[in-house]
Amino acid sequence: MSILRARFLRLYVVLLILLNGYQGFMVPALAQRNLSGMPEIELALHKLNVLGSVLMIAAHPDDENTALLAYYARGRTMRTGYLSLTRGEGGQNLIGPEQGDMLGVIRTQELLAARRIDGAEQFFTRAIDFGYTKTTDETFAKWGRERVLSDVVWVIRKFRPDVVILRFSGTPRDGHGHHQASAILGKEAFAAAADKNRFPEQLRYVRPWQAKRLFWNVFSFTAEQEKEAKALPHLVEVDTGEFNPILGKSYAEIAGISRSQHRSQGFGAAERRGPANNFLATISGEPADRDAFEGIDTTWSRLPGGEAVGHILAEAERTLAPEQPEKTIPLLLKARPLIAAIDDPLAKRKLEELDETLALCTGLWLDATADRYAAVPGSTVKIEIEAINRSHYPVRQTGYGLLGLNGAKVGEVWIAGPMAYNEPVRREAAGLIPPGTPYSQPFWLRKPHAGDTYDITEQEQIGLADSPPLLNAEFELDFGGTRVRLKRPVQYRYVDPTQGELTRPVVIVPAVAVDFSEPVALFPKESPKKIEVAVKANTTDMAGELRLELPQGWRAVPASQPFRLAQTGDEQALTFSVAPPREDAQGRLRAVAHVDGKEISTGMTAIAFPHIPPQTLFPDASAKLERVNVALTAHKIGYVMGAGDQVPDALGQLGCEVTLLSARDLAEADLAGFDAIVTGVRAYSVRPDLRANQQRLLEYVQNGGTMIVQYNVAEGGPFGGRRTGELAHIGPYPFEIGRGRVTVEEAPVRFVEPDNPLLVSPNHISERDFEGWIQERGLYFAEKWDPHYHAPLETGDPGEKPLAGGILYARYGRGVYIFTAFSWFRELPAGVPGAYRIFANMLSAHGAP
Ligand SMILES: [Zn+2]
């Protein structure tokens, strides 16, 4: 055992956590973690010799051409980035009920997971995916064209790509308005980034940048498209089917694995083998015919004084001894001072890469772990710091420090000593989290949205994919007289008995988290209602008082309640009786915990899926209050959960008793006891048991039941190619689901059959009930239907033919069958009053004349 290991140091430091600063884009030290050993070292050495970079621009998570990213990042070892204008907040979630901001957090992490596989870096603008839109007009009106353009310019100036690749053409053939906008803004930003008169406020941090060439990555999904692409002049062809023996895969195969991280979109993708052609057409800059980088110097010679560096690093690559990579270190150390002397952002970046390569060549393990993943302001976290030299190269550790978010050193220990082969050197530090430290809400969600963009005021945070780690450990090491500093995030490391060793980010949490059981409290009648608030302790001995704050006209009994929580993790549910005003009213209800002389009104929501690191969000402890008269004759509801939605909770708000129907229930239970059975979104795609028991459900309808089928989608790729007719048999009479949607949430709705029971009973529906909707009217409307169906409503986007397939209603036997493509799964959880009244009529349809 080494002397160092025996001498355990204890260090108490005050961690100055300044959330506002940030020191530049992170070097993706973890980006290659799915490679290891010799391939990782070989690629790192190769990359040191390549000074080219490429940035791809599109609109959403999943728009990117993952195979091209893998080709440039892993194959050509270029610095490669993907700028997605949005985080994909407006899509549909196929793995859970999360929508909006929460879905954006999931998709952000899915993109980061994909990038760890294909080796590219990830960036975003402040734009929010507000849902499907057909036009750039709506897109620019909602985002603010200049705001998003400035973000694209910013990322270009910061990333400094040689080549920019647009995924879309900027014309209506791209489909989605966001897709078109991404190319329009990409073209504009290509020029604007080089113009010092555009967005001059950014020049405090970055210099103007002129990328050499702008490409459009022409669509080639079909043979037809490929033929069209090949007819274009100045076309670069890239075969991403090329096999890379170091990686043991082709780029298209890597793309399949990377793309399959988009689980919330259900984009599991095949790992394609054989040739895979991609086409890049020059839009701006010198036309290219053979290679995207032709005529662009991507060697060290592009930097003043770089030539000598190039020679040394080429020798390092050539002489690498697979059994003894540490033998390469002297050459790396020879190049290091030459690189350090070059005053250029690219050289600075290469220096960081070189230092990480030194670590790779010595099998160096550097790690910093906290004793818990959640800490409250004012508490102390124990941090264990560990370094192991797993080579015979004589590395010496000379110290380490802890860095707060602004990069400032918040504590350090200086220890000099050799690191013996494979001998862990461990230190312990303890850090005080200052009282008043903000909770770890993702930086883009700290303020309310500014329309359809995130309100991020710190210029340096714009473009970042994720919040930087709360704390970093910085290790200072001596390689043959050269001092090198390497950074690692402080994280929580734990072992899950079923999944093995895992890590998760360390977060700052409130002392008590206050959460309403539901985001909306609906009062369909004048009577008071019980509302539950959970108080959860994030530290020991929490005692206080919880008070409800209500708008005028609303009352809570009692006005406040005491709570007492002994242990961390203890939770107490407090129930209040809330009485609404007599008339229709809306407002917000807030819960405030008074504890230790402080007021806390913050909740805590965890997002946990196996393919992404656990995420924690800190929403306000508030709920929407909605007083609206809703008559309802149904009470017992069976619900067949599909891909995941919050409609069952919403039906609970109406006073329904909701049973989630299992496969066994569908096959065996007596369904006759249900007043209505509702299928969740995309249920026919994800519940084979639903398809299997279709006949039983239709018999239930025939015998007097009411069945409501929410939107489903005929499967197919993101760019079409659905299997038509596959959902033709989900009703008692045939109908066909198309891809029609109404994306404008204010789109007028026409009452085609004003006397249809769904529009008159028990609630009389008027245009008012279609006010205040969010995001869209509906999606995947029915296209054709049997004459037994009635279609009482019609709605359409501006300038388009109205669609009548939003609700189909048919009497069948003694019961009623309803198909509905309106977006109830968005409107009900958002507390849209009209949506509740119409849905109540659908549930009550069995009692209607
Ligand atoms: Zn898209």
The predicted model scores a pTM of 0.85
Q: How far apart are CA 17 and CA 432, in angstroms?
A: 10
The predicted structure's pLDDT at residue 755: 95
The predicted structure's pLDDT at residue 28: 33
Q: How far apart are CA 679 and CA 134, in angstroms?
A: 28
Q: Where are the alpha helices (DSSP H) in 417-516?
A: none
Residue 530 pairs with which residues in a beta bridge?
Answer: 577
Consecutive H or E run containing 749: strand 749-751
Cα of 446 vs centre of ligand 1, distance in Å, is: 26
Number of Cβ within 10 Å of residue 9's Cβ equals: 12
CB 442 within 8 A of CB 454: no
- Tokens representing 500 are 């093995």
Cα of 221 vs centre of ligand 1, distance in Å, is: 15
Cα of 773 vs centre of ligand 1, distance in Å, is: 23
Cα of 88 vs centre of ligand 1, distance in Å, is: 8
The predicted structure's pLDDT at residue 847: 61
The predicted structure's pLDDT at residue 413: 67
The predicted structure's pLDDT at residue 85: 98
Low-confidence ranges of the chain (pLDDT < 70): 1-35, 267, 405-415, 715-728, 847-849
DSSP 346: H
Name residues with Cβ closer than 5 Å to ligand 1, which is an ion. Answer: 60, 63
Cα of 184 vs centre of ligand 1, distance in Å, is: 15
pLDDT, one tens digit per residue, over 377-415 is 988 889 998 999 999 999 998 887 777 755 566 666 666
- Pairing type for strands 53-58 and 163-166 reads parallel
748 three-class SS: coil
Average pLDDT, the chain: 90
Q: How far apart are CA 661 and CA 677, in angstroms?
A: 9
- Pairing type for strands 79-84 and 53-58 reads parallel
Cα of 263 vs centre of ligand 1, distance in Å, is: 15
Cα of 512 vs centre of ligand 1, distance in Å, is: 39
The predicted structure's pLDDT at residue 684: 92
Cα of 63 vs centre of ligand 1, distance in Å, is: 5
The predicted structure's pLDDT at residue 405: 55
Rounded to 10 degrees, what is the CA torsion of 611, 780, 678, 766?
Answer: 130
The predicted structure's pLDDT at residue 409: 63
- Residue found by looking up tokens 């102390």 in the block: 380
Cα of 124 vs centre of ligand 1, distance in Å, is: 14
pLDDT, one tens digit per residue, over 650-675 is 999 999 999 999 999 999 999 999 99
Cα of 260 vs centre of ligand 1, distance in Å, is: 16
